[in-house]
Amino acid sequence: MSASGLAPPQLVIEQGLSEAGGDPCIVMVQESSEVEFRFANNSPTTNGSRIDRQVTVVRFADISSPTGGTRGDVMAAGVVGAAGDVDIAAMVTSAGHDARHSAPASDAQPLLEGGADGAFTLPPPMTGVGALDAVADELFGALARSRSQPGGALLAGYAEHRVVTTYLGSSTGLRRRHVQPTGAFHLAGRSRDGSRSSWAGAASSDLGDISIDQLEESVLHGLRRAERHIELDAGRYEVILPPEAVADLMVALIDAAGGPDAEEGRTVFSVHGSDRDPGPGPRSGISGPHPPSVRRRTRVGEMISTLPFDLWSDPDEPGLECAPFLATPASSSDVSVFDNGLPLGRTTWVSHGRISTLRYHRAGARRSGVPVAAPGDNLVLDLPGACATLSDMVADTERGLLLTCLWYIREVDPTTLLLTGLTRDGVYVVEDGQVVGATNNFRFNESPVDLLARTTEAGRSVRTLGREFGEWMNRTRMPTLRIPDFHMSSVSPAS
């Protein structure tokens, strides 16, 4: 039995593949364990642990002929997912039924072949309350200090650690395993009267290299900076974006970097209007023949920044290591269940300020004549040679705003990737290299692609945690950015 008390994940996979009776099939088991500790108003509130299992069966059917047959001309996929102690035989049967009654899959490709990872037979490791020991002592000290100080800050937040082990097996002999530990710590502080707030967060694989004392000092420093309030109107301001805010914006950028959608003219990476290519070119991601008039070129190869930024994902990135193969429970326009087990390497999305790569599954890449590029589980933005810290960039600012983080980010226009959102937990006014107070919050309207084009300075890239999307993309390394004309579209009443 596994640590969850269920059948070993490897056994579930082998049983599922056996139930498929030799038909093309993929079975994926993700075993996860998580612990968390939450606190508010300077006191612990809740803590707990969870163990979970998610099982996905993908079965493929040849639907070339209504009477069956094995021509293999047209394939369809059926996907069934379930949690916990699953009936794997019933799942395989249901997935087969769905496959036989599904439309042809435009992303169909032969399943990947291969052998077994050396660690495939190992049980899934589990996290536990001991994973929080690394931060507990410092955290309890911070809470005690705030309780004991008259007028001290009210601290709230949480620490979490989880380990997800992915097992992937296919009817073609592929057996893959990956263990992904993920940790995060969020610390928010608020003045007793509720008029000032500050936040700091950090990410780590095991929480051991997170300094709660440093996060506490950052939060308290933010509250002290906000003791003077300076009211400002909406408008365009020189803004210093800290790495936390940059992470959220770059995650939004990479989420929009699907190649087939760009070819269809739907994203910021499409060539729009009179720049469309009406002549022969790569096929679009839509199945079936299309006249040249609806074909689109993408912006791959286009320079989007005068600063030579590099943006990449790499499963072997030091300190940000993540899964070296694709494991997806569903297909989309640029990710395919047929590609499960696909080896992943470094993918450079932006190279020296130029769009280098968009996401394509194998079928889409073959249609468009471009390299295959699957999504990764980390993201790095770097300006070669940049070494300035956030403090250095503040010291070089004549007048501007220093943000803490962004929140409630939503897409307004996919063709420009215009985003709207709110500033949160500290917008500081900088004059002559010094923070002189804090101002009101704003709603902003900006595109991360345009921001890269308008950036005039970038600092050293550091490990960071986005406030909005850090739960989804924990492993990021980002620089501080200076934007000369960041658009604060309206004043926000949020405190």
pTM for the structure as a whole: 0.92
Q: Alpha-carbon distance 459 to 490, whole Å?
A: 28
pLDDT at 71 over 50: no
Q: Is the pLDDT of residue 68 over 80?
A: no
Cα separation of 317 and 307, whole Å?
23
Q: What is the pLDDT of residue 264?
A: 93
At 70, is the pLDDT very low, low, confident or very high (cuts 50, 70, 90)?
A: very low
Count CA within 13 A, CB hemisphere, residue 6: 22
Q: Which two tokens stand for residue 266?
A: 């739907």
* Residue 170, token pair as written in the block: 């296919």
Gap between the Cα atoms of 225 and 91, Å rounded: 57
Kindly report the backbone phi and psi dihedral angles of residue 264, in degrees, each rounded to the nearest multiple of 5, phi listed first: -85, 5
Residue 285, SS3 per DSSP: coil
For position 128, what pLDDT does the model report?
Answer: 92
Please report the pLDDT score of residue 280 as a whole number.
37
State the DSSP string of 350-388. Answer: EETTEE---BB-HHHHHHHT---B---SEEEEE-TT---
Look at residue 270 in the predicted model and tell me its pLDDT. Answer: 96
The pLDDT of residue 150: 86
Give the helix/strand (H/E) hosting 434: strand 434-439
Could you tell me what percent of the chain has a pLDDT over 90? 88
The per-residue pLDDT for 2 is 66
Structure tokens at 144: 């005690």
The pair phi, psi for residue 120, each rounded to 5°, is: -60, -35
pLDDT computed for residue 279 by the predictor: 41
Over residues 440-453, the pLDDT tens digits come to 999 999 999 999 99
User: What ranges do the domains of the chain cover?
Assistant: 9-222, 228-495
pLDDT score of 81: 97
Indicate the residue type of 402.
L
Average pLDDT on 444-469 reads 98
Query: Tokens 């492993």 identify what position?
Result: 475
Q: What is the DSSP string of 49-96?
A: EEEEEEEEEEEEEE-SSTT-----SSEEEEEEEEESS--HHHHHHHHH
Amino acid at 409: I
As a whole number of angstroms, the distance between CA 160 and CA 141 comes to: 18
pLDDT above 60 (res 276): no
d(CA 493, CA 271): 38
Over residues 387-443, the pLDDT tens digits come to: 999 999 999 999 999 999 999 999 999 999 999 999 999 999 999 999 999 999 999
Q: In what order do the strands lie in the sheet with 310-313?
A: 354-355, 347-351, 310-313, 378-382, 475-478, 462-464
Could you tell me the two tokens for 280?
A: 């022969």
Q: Where are the alpha helices (DSSP H) in 173-235?
A: 212-225
Report, as an integer, the average pLDDT of 2-11.
84
Judge whether 130 and 136 are in contact, CB under 8 Å: no
Query: Is the distance from CB of 251 to CB of 472 less than 8 angstroms?
Result: yes
Burial of 67 (0-12, 13-18, 19+ CB in 10 A): exposed
* Whether CATH 3.30.2290.10 fits 9-222: yes
pLDDT beyond 70 at 296: no
Q: What is the pLDDT of residue 65?
A: 58
Range 57-69 average pLDDT: 75
Arithmetic mean of pLDDT over the chain: 92
Cα 473 from chain centroid (whole Å): 3
Q: Is the pLDDT of residue 379 over 70?
A: yes
Q: Is the pLDDT of residue 19 over 70?
A: yes
Measured distance CA(364)–CA(283) in Å, rounded: 9
Rounded Cα distance between 326 and 107, Å, is 15
Average pLDDT of the residues in 188-196: 95
CB 178 within 8 A of CB 30: no
Structure tokens at 343: 């080896």
**Chain segment 113-164, per-residue pLDDT in tens:** 999 999 999 999 999 999 999 899 999 999 999 999 888 899 999 999 999 9
Q: Residue 52 and residue 32: Cα distance in Å, rounded?
A: 5
Task: Count, in order, helices (H) and strands (E) of the chain.
Answer: 9, 19
Contact 139, 39 (CB under 8 A): yes
In this prediction, residue 284 has a pLDDT band, given cuts at 50, 70 and 90, of very low
Contacts of 417 (CB under 8 A, 6+ apart): 252, 253, 256, 267, 268, 411, 447, 448, 449
The pLDDT, as a whole number, for residue 5 is: 81
Residues 6+ apart with CB under 8 A from 412: 418, 419, 420, 445
- Which residues, in sequence order, are CB contacts of 247 under 8 Å at separation 6+? 379, 464, 465, 466, 469, 470, 473, 476, 478
Tell me what the mean pLDDT of segment 373-395 comes to: 97
pLDDT over 80 at 28, yes or no = yes
Q: What average pLDDT does range 88-114 have in this prediction? A: 96
Q: Quick: pLDDT tens for 222-266.
A: 999 999 999 999 999 999 999 999 999 999 999 999 999 999 999
Q: How far apart are CA 302 and CA 270, in angstroms?
A: 11
pLDDT-wise least confident of 3-12, 102-111, 115-124, 447-456: 3-12
Count other Cβ atoms within 10 Å, centred on residue 361: 29
pLDDT at residue 493, as a whole number: 85
